[in-house]
Structure 1
Amino acid sequence: MCFLWVGLKRQRRTSLGDTESAGSNSEMELRPLVMCFALCVVYATSKPTEKKDRVHHDDPLSNKEHDDAENFDYDHEAFLGQEEAKTFDQLTPEESKERLGMLVERIDEDKDGFVTAEEMKKWIKHAQKRWIYDDVDRQWKSHDLNGDGMVSWEEYKNATYGYVLDDSDPEDGFSYKQMMARDERRFKMADLDKNMKANKEEFTAFLHPEEYDHMKDIVVLETMEDIDKNGDGLIDLDEYIGDMYNQDGDNTEPEWVKTEREQFTEFRDKNKDGKMDKEETRDWILPSDYDHAEAEAKHLVYESDADKDGRLTKEEIVDKYDLFVGSQATDFGEALTRHDEF
């Protein structure tokens, strides 16, 4: 999702958040942030050649054709993740079955001896979003300052803002205090048990809110705040277009801008009051897409369910190892370790 503010915050978390403290390294770590902000300003004030897209869609499970009559390449990438599938090493069927069996034990979350379609869907989503967990792992190390296995709001605030808050805000209106308040609001929403400390799952929701249903409201709110220039809590047509395109005195608009004007009037503004409210904005940036992970999970269960009871045993999955991993397998040890952490 292409949020200007969220993108800036993520860059800030990478540059400032990776410091071991908010001390002597802060000034050096602040430079990438300043450069990032400057680039964002240039981007926002220049005329883009392509439309800025704020709509969040799930990435495809695989770019391969899903044709089981031809091969199971799509299923392999869906089950393991595209990047992990690229690292397959040649294994014998026996080796492949053994490693797949180890993986099945991790997918069976409730340890009842069966893998349901829901558990399979969760695993597929995990495999597809592994880059998110890599990002969280990196940032976790620099924010869990006392090593207690939690990231408190105080730890995050000190690691991220401890240095810059001592300085006055720039004259251009950019406010670290506003960013901190916005981060605190998001942290509180991610903090399900309301103790102002985030476990790894809560920290993941904080850093990547678009991936969690209970965080969707904050995604919508932050997007509206970015686009709503007059502060009325709504997005009008000029604000909608202005977020994507800076006319800069040129009366000749690209064709896609004209199309977006029509999209706003005909589809985005459902109640025809000339503005998008919270629900209309949600429908725009978080569309109800087809759930590829759910469909693939049901497909894998259906194809492997020998006794047709709607769930899979370890034996049923291993018997169909060619569907899941073929005679090749990725570095399962790394996958197992990462899955155990969540």
Structure 2
Amino acid sequence: MLAVVALAVPAQEKRVHHHADLSDHAHDDGQGFQYDHEAFLGREEAKSFDQLSPEESKAKLAKIVERIDTDKDGFVSHSELHYWIKHRQRRYIQENVDKHWKDYDKNQDGQISWEEYKNTTYGYYHGEEFDDVEDKATYRSMLLRDERRFKTADRDSDGIATREEFTAFLHPEEFDHMKSVVVQETVEDIDKDGDGKVNLNEYIGDMFTPEEGESEPDWVQTERTHFSEFRDSNKDGYLDAAEVAHWVLPGEIDHADNEAKHLILETDTDKDEKITQKEILANWNMFVGSQATNYGEDLTKRHDEL
């Protein structure tokens, strides 16, 4: 059963509020450029640059700039940089799918059937009874939730997921036709009394559960205000599906667009709203990392701690 639980994790994302940010690091250039590195390179590639010397890092960056400049005019425009960053983030999603693909495509036919996924994740249970599992109700709920998500991702309803359909299953936040599932799963996660709506206590309880004697922090009161003044648009004291959708799927923030604008703003010395390879290499440590930049960031952190 330990193996079953481990394999269930990728598909059992509790909640997706919006397209994932480009990095888990804070976007604060005063504390270092790790956010920018992961946004520009992708998370895995950024790790490989961290092992390079400054000279090696600059040389590889110069080649990347040539690839970004798709019209070969000698400049990197906002649209070219935006496309590059979006492409790197999409690659991260594909790598995540690739990592899990071999776990489920048991017959190696390039597709994953619902039966393959179910049997690999939950074992060969007859009638989904889970008789030898301690928390049967939880496993039944997880199975039904996975099946619903799988069927929504399976657009031709043939019970078999192509790679694109399996990507939608694992990363529903990236696909418009999966948004109803994201909203439904969010409501189910938070709605403790099972009335199909989210009340204020459920909303706060999902974010903060005080320990015995612990006082409520200020940000919790701010969230109470957000609930009543902004989230609950019809003022009935609850969040229905439409209000939850507006909350967890707001007008999507284009993090790649924001990052492209940020990188150009910081490196465009002649203010022509596009950047050259020379301008980029002059600010190479913002775009990519190396052993040297990491050493400097470590020193900064140690100084702050002292």
TM-score interval, smaller chain: 0.5 to 0.7
Q: What's the CA shift for 1:281? A: 1.1
In the other structure, the counterpart of 2:301 is none
1:198-213 maps to which residues of 2 (within 5 A)? 198-213=161-176
Task: Determine if the alignment matches structure 1 residue 29 to structure 2 residue 3.
Answer: yes
Q: 1:266 aligns with which of 222, 226, 229?
A: 229
Q: Name the SS of the counterpart of 2:107 in structure 1.
A: coil
In the other structure, the counterpart of 1:59 is 21
For residues 232 and 204 of structure 1, what CA distance do their matches in structure 2 show? 31
Q: Name the SS of the counterpart of 1:89 in structure 2.
A: coil
In the other structure, the counterpart of 2:100 is 139
Q: What's the CA shift for 1:89? A: 1.5
Name structure 1 gaps, 5 residues minimum: 1-26, 37-51, 331-342
List per-residue Cα deviations over 1:303-336 (Å, max 9, x = no partner): 78x9x8x999xxx669955567899788xxxxxx
Q: Name the SS of the counterpart of 2:194 in structure 1.
A: coil
Of residues 80-89 and 295-304 in structure 1, the stretch that sits farther from structure 2 once superposed is 295-304
Q: What's the CA shift for 1:234? A: 1.6
For residues 195 and 103 of structure 1, what CA distance do their matches in structure 2 show? 43
Task: Determine if the alignment matches structure 1 residue 275 to structure 2 residue 238.
Answer: yes
Task: Determine if the alignment matches structure 1 residue 285 to structure 2 residue 248.
Answer: yes
Q: Counterpart amino acid of 2:88?
A: A
Q: Counterpart amino acid of 1:29?
A: A
List per-residue Cα deviations over 1:241-296 (Å, max 9, x = no partner): 34345579x7x773245444333222221110111011211232334464331133
For residues 38 and 134 of structure 2, what CA distance do their matches in structure 1 show? 49
Q: Name the SS of the counterpart of 1:174 in structure 2.
A: helix
For residues 145 and 4 of structure 2, what CA distance do their matches in structure 1 show? 19
In the other structure, the counterpart of 1:187 is 150
For residues 225 and 277 of structure 2, what CA distance do their matches in structure 1 show? 50
Name structure 2 gaps, 5 residues minimum: 291-306
1:10-21 maps to which residues of 2 (within 5 A)? none
In the other structure, the counterpart of 2:178 is 215
Task: Determine if the alignment matches structure 1 residue 255 to structure 2 residue 229.
Answer: no
How high is the sequence identity, in percent, across the aligned residues? 46
Question: TM-score normalised to the size of structure 2?
Answer: 0.64
Q: Counterpart amino acid of 2:199?
A: D
Question: CA 1:56–1:102 in structure 2 vs 1: closer, same or farther (change >3 Å)?
Answer: closer
Count of equivalent residues: 275
